[in-house]
């Protein structure tokens, strides 16, 4: 079982750049179980929606704030590798705002326009941008299959106005273009099990997937205790988050996968 504590250098990098990438935070079996369960999960498949980008491409996702289940998704979201790291980086107690699976299918997966997560969450009456997400690569993410791109240090720009482009909400293109002239664009290429921790004001996007490789990723999103917000379905107000021993991830994942296989064979 892996353990992780961010170094002082990583904490400084998060404050300066708005993100840190942690390679091999999760073990191969943990990620393999997540992929198998995610692809076979009919309940989650029924929750999928697919916003269109400006070129008509679709990226699929499902989102939930269900934190009470002893399943593999919550094993990732409650585990100390993620939660303790979030609390260190945000310097506050955190709770789970929601989690979601992002899916870019081979050849047809759509793009995500430049945006800040706080550009959305601001409208849930989140008073401060003191929020962050952890993206876990389930498949290999590379430039060809639409890996995440970020503008390094853009979280320090403050909130940018957002509007609707395609059927997605994105940041003001003129403001983004100005930022892109001065800030480095980074392609966050990640192997399965790598995690990207990023601030809610960090500008990020992804291209369409025109490769033969799928790109699945689990994103666990957190708010800080001191940050009030409107209590909405899928975007709750503060509830204390129980931290789980990281070993429970495999225990719950194995049990969930065995139950799914049994149900499929019944």
Residue 188 has pLDDT above 70, yes or no: yes
> Are 61 and 49 within 8 A, CB to CB?
yes
The pLDDT score that the predictor gives to residue 24 is 96
What are the two backbone dihedrals, phi and then psi, of residue 251, each rounded to the nearest 5 degrees? -60, -50
Quick one: DSSP state of residue 151? E
> Are 209 and 26 within 8 A, CB to CB?
no
Rounded-to-integer distance, Cα 57 and Cα 51, Å: 8
Helix/strand/coil (H/E/C) assignment for every residue in 76-142:
HHHEHHHHHHHHHHHCCCEEEEEEEEEEECCCCECCEEEECHHHHHHHHCCCCCCEEEEEEECCCEC
The pLDDT score that the predictor gives to residue 107 is 83
pTM exceeding the 0.75 threshold for the entire prediction? yes
> Are 67 and 78 within 8 A, CB to CB?
yes
Where is average pLDDT lowest: 50-54, 174-178, 236-240?
50-54
Kindly report, residue by residue over 211-225, the tens digit of the pLDDT.
Answer: 999 999 999 999 999
High-pLDDT (> 70) share of the chain, %? 97
Kindly report, residue by residue over 118-131, the tens digit of the pLDDT.
Answer: 999 999 999 999 99
Query: DSSP characters for 157-186?
Result: G----EEEETTEEEE-HHHHHHHHHHS-EE
* Torsion sign over Cα 167, 53, 39, 136: negative
Mean pLDDT of 53-58: 72
What are the two backbone dihedrals, phi and then psi, of residue 3, each rounded to the nearest 5 degrees? -125, 160
What are the two backbone dihedrals, phi and then psi, of residue 41, each rounded to the nearest 5 degrees? -80, 95
> Are 116 and 199 within 8 A, CB to CB?
no
Kindly report, residue by residue over 130-177, the tens digit of the pLDDT.
Answer: 999 999 999 999 999 999 999 999 999 999 999 886 667 789 999 999
């Amino acid at each position: 079982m892996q353990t992780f504590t961010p170094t002082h250098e990583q904490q400084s990098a998060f404050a300066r750049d708005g993100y840190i990438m942690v390679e091999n935070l999760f073990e191969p079996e943990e990620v393999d179980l997540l992929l198998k369960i995610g692809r076979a999960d009919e309940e989650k498949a029924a929750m999928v929606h697919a916003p269109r980008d400006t070129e008509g491409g679709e990226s699929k996702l499902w989102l939930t704030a269900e934190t009470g289940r002893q399943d593999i998704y919550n094993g990732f979201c409650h585990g100390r590798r993620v939660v303790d790291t979030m609390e260190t980086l945000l310097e506050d107690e955190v709770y789970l705002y929601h989690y979601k699976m992002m899916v870019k299918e081979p050849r047809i997966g759509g793009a995500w326009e430049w945006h800040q997560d706080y550009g959305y969450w601001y409208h849930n009456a989140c008073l401060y941008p003191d929020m962050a997400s952890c993206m876990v690569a389930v498949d290999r993410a590379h430039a060809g299959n639409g890996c995440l791109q970020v503008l390094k240090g853009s979280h320090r720009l403050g909130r940018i106005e957002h509007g609707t482009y395609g059927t997605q909400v994105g940041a003001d293109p003129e403001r983004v273009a100005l930022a892109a002239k001065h800030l480095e664009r980074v392609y966050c290429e990640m192997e399965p099990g790598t995690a990207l921790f990023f601030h809610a004001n960090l500008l990020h996007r992804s291209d369409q997937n025109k490769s033969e490789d799928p790109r699945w990723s689990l994103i666990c999103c957190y708010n800080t205790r001191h940050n009030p917000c409107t209590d909405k379905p899928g975007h709750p107000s503060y509830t204390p988050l129980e931290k789980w021993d990281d070993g429970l991830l495999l225990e719950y994942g194995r049990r969930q996968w065995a139950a799914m296989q049994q149900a499929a064979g019944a």
